[in-house]
Amino acid sequence: MALQKVVIVGATSAIAYEAAQCMAAQGAELFLVGRNPAKLETIAADLKVRGAQRVETFLLDVNEVARHQAMLDAAVAAFGWLDGLLIAHGTLGDQRKCELSVEETLREFQTNALSVIALLTLAANYFEQRGRGCIAVLSSVAGDRGRPSNYVYGAAKGAVSIFLQGLRARLAKHGVAVVTIKPGLVDTPMTAHLRKGLLFSSARRVGRGVYRAMQQGRPVVYLPGYWRLIMLVIRLIPERVFQRLSL
């Protein structure tokens, strides 16, 4: 699939940046959306050097849902049409804080689920009408099963995964690929505070996987691939047993 004109929301994410490099190397036009102007400029300059034909930036806090349509309109106005959308933003909130605060829990849900669903609602209509293209979202293996250590984040990612499942079936008829990406543990700023064990992968490896999955229009990809097996096993553990595991 041609990925010549792509919008990347959460473009300053380490994983999205790696995927964007692959697109830039192919001479793509990239519309980078994020909330931090200095970071966006850094990424934009880099992608230009790496070969992107054109790079535009758009400042947006994804929780300003009212501005989503304006953002998409700006992208279409800039490039004429869009081949792809990659949604990458996310926060790995503090689970304990969420347990102690409704506000905190809802904020995490807002960023990781609702903002994504809002964007998808608008983008789906654009791509449905256009009759081609690819929508990819960074969900997570955490959405496959609720765990005590991160079920707020996990539930938000799970909601996104289910939403994408339905959307995929709807848009398949219109020639639009919807790609659910479930990374395992990735060494990025989001996980800077975690101890890096053997299960950690580099952002580069995962970002390249994202690019390939988008090119091929795959439905659901685990990155790296072995996480499919790990999550299969984790999902098969009976609830009683699961409760006693400290995961």
Partner 1 sequence: MLSTQAIPQSWGRYPRVKPARVVPIYWRDQVPDLQTLPGPLLAYGYGRSYGDSCLNENGTVLAVSHLRRFLAFDEEQGLLRCEAGVSLAEILDLIVPRGWFLPVSPGTKFVSVGGAIANDIHGKNHHKAGTFGCHVTRFELLRSNGERLICSPTENRELFEATIGGLGLTGLILWAEFRLKRIHNPYIDMERIRYDSLEEFMELCAESDEQYEYTVAWVDCLASGSKLGRGIFMRGNHNESPEYARKPLPRKLPLAVPVDLPSFTLNTLTLKIFNTLYDHSQLQKRVFKVIPYEPFFYPLDSIHDWNRMYGRRGFFQYQCVVPYEQGYDVMKEILQRISRSGQGSFLAVLKKFGEVRSPGLLSFPRPGLTLALDFANQGPKTLRLFDELDALVRESGGALYPAKDARMHGEDFKRFFPRWQEFMRYVDPKFSSSFWRRMALVPAREQSTAVEV
Ligand X SMILES: NC(=O)c1ccc[n+]([C@@H]2O[C@H](COP(=O)([O-])OP(=O)(O)OC[C@H]3O[C@@H](n4cnc5c(N)ncnc54)[C@H](OP(=O)(O)O)[C@@H]3O)[C@@H](O)[C@H]2O)c1
Interface contacts to partner 1, rule CB under 8 A: 14, 38-39, 42-43, 45-46, 49-50, 187, 189, 192, 195-196, 200, 202, 204-205
**Residue 36 touching ligand X (CB under 6 A):** yes
Of 6, 20, 24, 88, which lies in the binding site for ligand X, with binding defined by CB under 6 A? 88
**Residue 48 touching ligand X (CB under 6 A):** no
Q: Which residue is nearest to ligand X (CB)?
A: 90
Of 84, 158, 183, 217, which lies in the binding site for ligand X, with binding defined by CB under 6 A? 183
Interactions with ligand X, residue window 112-151 (CB under 6 A): 138, 140
The residues with which 180 forms a beta bridge, in sequence order, are 137, 220
Q: How far is the CB of 240 from ligand X (least distance, A)?
A: 27
**Residue 42 touching ligand X (CB under 6 A):** no
| Cβ atoms of 113 and 152 closer than 8 Å | no
For partner 1, the closer of residues 104 and 187 by Cβ is 187
Alpha-carbon torsion 31, 28, 222, 17, what sign?
negative
> Residue with structure tokens 């919008």?
7
For ligand X, the closer of residues 91 and 149 by Cβ is 91
- Residues near 115 by Cβ (< 8 Å), separated by ≥ 6? 62, 63, 65, 89
Q: How far is CA 60 from the centre of its chain?
A: 16
Asked whether the bond before 238 is cis by omega within 30 degrees of 0, the reply is no
Alpha-carbon torsion 40, 43, 190, 65, what sign?
positive
* Interface contacts to ligand X, rule CB under 6 A: 10, 12-15, 34-36, 39, 61-63, 88-91, 111, 138, 140, 183, 185-186, 188-191
